Structure formats: structure tokens, C-alpha cells
Chains A and B, each alone.
Chain A
Amino acid sequence: MPENDQRSISFWAGTVLVGLALLAPFGVNEYYQSFLLQVFLVIALAQAWNLISGMTGYVSFGHAAFFGVGAYTGALFLTWGYPWWIAIFNGAGIAALIAVPLGFLTLRLRGPYFAIAMLGLNEVGRIVATLWVSVTKGGTGLPLPPSLLPSLDITYFMMLSLALGATLLIAWVHRSRFGLELRAIREDEEAAEMVGVNTTRNKVTAFVLSALIPGAVGAVYAMYTSYINPASAFDPARNIEMIVVVLFGGSGTVWGPIIGAATVMFLREMLWAQFPAAHLAALGVLLLIVVLYLPGGLVSIVRERHRERPDARPGESP
């Protein structure tokens, strides 16, 4: 399929979906509105992870750490009396701020060590939230007073905006020089250095952007559930979902995370109330399938393999 046709189909499909999403609150009951909110949450997180792991090749096993930081920051600012939009802004901001030094430190590590370091950082986040009792109230968690919470509609639209924004960001990065440099880093970092790509600046930028979005998402999430504690804010299941959603859908692509999110959320909705462990076990199976048989994700099945550019690989959009 010629590139231009593909692009316009993408565009129209995206517009229709966004339109439906905007209209949904007016027709659907609260429970299903919550469901959609969670779909957007997964999409936003997945795209953020896609940026650092799919596009730059630094696979993170602990990105939920930024989600957790955002959740606590947002919740705390809300309880300190600030309006919800400032709380979200700060959630994103603090997450990004922390990501700067962390990025410089962790991105020195190669592949699996980066992954393990991020995994460790997620746990460190949980530990800090547990032990810093004077601020976070530790293991008891923070219930948020209902009077301060924004309505479900507001959180819904916030999450939709974040999912949309994250996706558009990925789409933009894809076509930009920045994205090209990131892909170069992913393919062969040393070679990229040699041809003059400032790998450090690019990596850290991608890392910080990929931390900013989960920070905001976390803050919105805290307002949606009205309660967070260290276990739920730094939930390892969120890490698993980010990884599986993107790898299963198709890493490094724009639509991959969206397809992956739809699949995983559907699975989750069928299983979570009665069989929560089955949902995660299924994700583990999906991950294995991807790793062993389907490195390009679902997107690579559906798409016809053909080279638009010499450097395009199977499973990557042109």
C-alpha cells in the first residue's frame, strides 16, 4: 500500500476514534466511561514507554516509577489545596525533573543492565513512598478527600488528552530528525556517535519526555481512584503492561501501542474482578510469544512487509 494512502487511512481512522472517544461520556454509563479512561491510561503509558524503549532501544523494566512519582506528587498537591490542574502539572514536572539526573546516570548502562537498574528504581520509589512517612503517610496510603477531586468527566478528558498527546508526540518524533537520531542510537550507538549524533543529549531528552507523560498520567490516576499507596502507585503490574502492550502491539510504531492496549485491556476487563492472576499470567504468555516468535508485534502481521526506505525494518512504519 503506497505510503500516502497509508498515512491518510491512519489519519482518518485516528480522527474517527478520537471523535467517538469525545462523544462516549454522553452515551455510556459511568462504569464503561471508567473503562475507557483506563484504556487511555494504558495507551498514554505505552506510548511513553515506546519512546524510550521502542524507539531508542533502551528497554526499561521500571518505568512505572515515574507513574508513581506523578501519582504521589499529584495527590499531595491536591491535599495541600492546589487546584487539580496544577497538581497534574506538578506531577509531570517532578517526574521529569527526577528523570534528568537519573537519565544521565542510567543511560550509561547497556541493555539488560539499564533494564535491571530501572526495575530496581521502581522498587526504590516504592520504598521511598513507604519510609517517608511524614510526607506520604507510608504504608497506610493517601485517601483523597472527595470534595477536592475533579469529576469523572474531567479526569476522563484529561486522560484522553494525555493518550492523544502521547500518540501525537510519537507520530511527530517518528517523522522528525530527532526520531531518526533515536533510531540510529537504537541500531548502533557507537556508529551514531561517530557520525556526529549527540547520543547523550538525544537519549536523555527521550528519557525525560518518557518520564513526563507517566508523571501526568499518574497524577490523573490518583484523582480518579481517590486513593493511592506505595503498592498501587509503584505496581509492578503496570511495568508488565507497558512492556507487553508495546511489544505485543509493535514497538517503535505509532499504532502498535494502541492495538496492544486494546487487546490487553479487553483481556483485563474480562478477568480482573474474578481472576486477577489469570490476567497477568496471560500477559506473561503474550510476552513470551512476542519474544520467541513475533518480535515485530501484531502490527507486523497485519502490515505488508515492504521497504519504503532502505533503513526500514520489518515491523516498523516508514
Chain B
Amino acid sequence: MKSRFSLSFLLSILLFLFASPALTQNNEIHVGTSVALTGKYARTGQEQLQGFQMWVEEVNERGGLLGKKVHLIHYDDESKPETGAKLYEKLITDDKVQLLIGPYSSDVTLAASTVAEKHNFPMVSSGASSSEIWARGYKNIFGLYTLADLYMDQIIELGKSKGLKKIALVYENTAFPRGVAEGVKRKAKELGMQIVFEEEYGKASTDFSSMIIKIKAKKADMVIGGSYLPDSTGFMRQAKEARLYAKIFAFAVGPGLPDFGHNLGLDAEGVMGNTQWEPTLKLPGAKEFAEKYKVRHGHEPGYHAGGGYGAGHVLEAAVKKAGSTDRDKVRAALFALDTVNAFGRFKVDATGKQIGKPAYAVQWLGGERHIVLPEEAATAKVFYPFKDWNKR
């Protein structure tokens, strides 16, 4: 009896599999993506998805891609690389999408791009910047973001110009923050500055108090964090509690988002950070996108939303150039593309790495986020040094 039970059970599963109908494509182009909608990277993932969704809407208003309506299939990878990898397998082999957009964050993209490469399926990535992703000789991963190692260059140069010498460096132990850290170490060496403190922390770490005690002891001039939003926010809070003072505080991801200023209030004042893009940049369609986004979502878009939007445009340009959604043609088109859209210039090298777009430094001033470096694109002057805690 029990054997009959399990036998019929498994038989029915197998029958179900064999009889399962194939996905009908009809007159739509399916684009697939998985973004972090929950977990540590949730806020940034949501922004990216929203930016992309805006492109989907607009392209359909304009008549679609190659005359067909664009339909987006998306999942939540929970900020976990292993989940992202599984979801991209599903998108490719089960949902059978024709086009792929990458996830948010370098570590999830690292895993997802391996899946894309395995299936020889080109993926446009707007949420990743770690050079590790492009150091593997893959042919199917195309990035929009400026590389992580370059993030802190301008800020470190600023420090040097003010005569600062000692840098404290903390970062999460995943791909992107490590990339930022590598860049910091390289630049510091180049400029003859000293890394007096360096520590990696885990993705789930929320307690920075021990690190802050040590940084205080080392009397660092600059504190640089290879971080995402929750950790940069938490760090600044705890820095205030411990009365950690430095002339420059800079974080990779965090200050580029409206949430940073919103959550920290006055404590965000003077904190510097990175951005891949700001709505104030003079790029075609940037202003319109920013206004439309603000009306729709109630706040100005940060660069994650901009990146999502830009990725859509890159995909559009590639498909138009290729004249089809055939993977090989799209891949070739992506390699050859050199275009400017609302997010900035897109041009990649032979590994798919982005080489055409610069990065910028922001600073929170008067409750608002401003571009301060490079000066040509700046909307405000750098405020230096960071105001001490008891002087606010």
C-alpha cells in the first residue's frame, strides 16, 4: 500500500512534467530580471526595478521593441546571490525570456552572470561595478556602472589636497565593497597616504562599535566605508554615539540615496559619498525622467533608479542595432554600442566592462544631496572639514 502510494505520487509528478505546455511567446518580447526587493539591498533594488519599469512603460508607449510589446517578468532574490542564480536559471530555462537585465549588487550579479554565461545569454547589468565580475573572461555580461575601484579616487585626491595622511577603511566582505577597498588602497599608495586601519565585516553585521573604537585610537583623518545603505547609516549613527571624528567621512553606497538624509537627519550633514548619476546632470532625458519619477514615486530618483532606466535604454539600443532578439546578434550589438542616454555614456571594452562613463562624488549639504566632484559637474562646493558632533 505504501509503495503504491509513493509510486502513484511520483508517477503523477512525472506525468505532470511531460504534459506541461511550452510557454507561448505570441506577440510579446519577454524581459527577465531578479532584483533585491527584500533583505539588505532592498531599497536600492526597489529603486533599480522602478527605474527599469519606467523604461518598459515608455518603450511600450512608443510602440514597443521591434513592433512588439515588452513584458517584464521579475522576481525577488532577497539580496542573496544563490537565490539570484536560481532565479536566473528559472528565467532562462522555465520562463524562457528573450532578454535579460542583471540584478542589483555585485555579489548577486557575480552569481547571476555565471548562470548567464553558462547558457551563453547576454545580460545587461545596471547594478554592479566590481571588477571581479569582468575579470573572468566572460562574454555575456555588460555593465553600465563605473567600476568600483574608481569610486573613491576623487575623494582621496581631495583629502590629499588638504594635507590629510591617515585613512581608516572598513568594508563589507562581498564583491563590490572589496572592489572599492582595492581601489582605495591603490590610490592611497599612489598618493603616499597611509591606511592606518582596515577591517572587513560581514553582510549581516550591524554593530560597528568595536571598529569605531579602534579607528578613534588610530586617529584617522579620513574614514572611508565600502558599504551599502544599512551599514553606512548604522555606522554614522554609531560614530556619533562614540563621538568618532574625522575630517572626511565617505561611503560608497548610502549617501547617494534619499533615505540616507531622511534617516540620519542632521547627522548626515557633510557626509560624502559616491554616485553613478544624479538627476541634475546634463544628459538627454535625465531631467524628464527625474520629474516623472518624482511624481510617480514621491521622491527624486537616485542613481539606482537612473541605472535601471538607463539599462532599459541600452537594451533598446542594442536590440534596434541587432534588428532582432537573437542572442548572438544582441551580444554583438552590445559590444559595438557607443551611445549616450539619460544615465550617461555606454561603451564597453572586450570583456563587457564599462569604460565610457565617469563617477561622481556627492555630499549632503543643508539637507540635500549635491554633486561636489568633479568640479565641472558640481552643483555645490565641497564643504570641508566635517563639522564636529558637538558643534552642530
Contact = CB atoms under 8 A, between A and B. Distances in A.
Interface stretch (A26-34, A44-52, A97-105, A171-179): A26-34
B286 to A, nearest CB: 33
Interface string B81-114: 1110111011001100000000000010011011
B118 A303 contact: no
B118 A10 contact: no
Instruction: Give chain A's interface residue range (CB within 8 Å of chain B).
Output: 35 or more
B278 interface: no
B20 interface: yes
B3 A225 contact: no
Interface string A19-63: 010001001111110111000000000000000000000000000
Contact of B200 (A28, A138, A259): A138
B82 A228 contact: yes
A140 B114 contact: no
Nearest to B113: A143
B10 interface: yes
> Which residue, B3, B7, B115, B178, has most C-beta atoms of chain A within 10 A?
B3
Nearest to B16: A32
Interface stretch (B169-177, B213-221, B294-302, B349-357): B169-177
Given A13-B7, A225-B86, A302-B5, A146 B111 contact: no
Contacts of A28: 17-18
Contact of B82 (A10, A34, A231): A231
B203 interface: yes
B14 interface: yes
B132 interface: yes
Contact of A273 (B13, B18, B75, B174): B75
Contacts of A276: 78, 83
Q: Is the interface of A mostly helix, strand, loop or mixed?
A: helix
Interface in A125-172: 130, 133, 138-141, 143-146, 149
B173 A140 contact: yes
Contact of A262 (B13, B18, B82, B87): B13
B87 A229 contact: no
A28 B17 CA distance: 7
B12 to A, nearest CB: 10
A259 B180 CA distance: 49
Contacts of B13: 262, 266
B136 interface: yes
Interface in A67-112: none
A9 interface: yes
A145 B111 CA distance: 11
A133 B93 CA distance: 33
A136 B60 CA distance: 45
A227 B85 contact: yes
Contacts of A292: none
Given A225-B82, A273-B75, A141 B111 contact: yes
> Which residue, B2, B10, B11, has most C-beta atoms of chain A within 10 A?
B2
The 9 closest A-B pairs by CB, nearest first: A139-B173, A232-B82, A31-B94, A227-B111, A302-B2, A13-B3, A31-B93, A30-B93, A146-B118
18 contacts: A9-B3, A13-B7, A17-B7, A20-B10, A24-B14, A24-B17, A31-B90, A31-B94, A35-B17, A139-B172, A140-B178, A146-B118, A226-B118, A227-B115, A229-B107, A229-B111, A232-B82, A262-B10
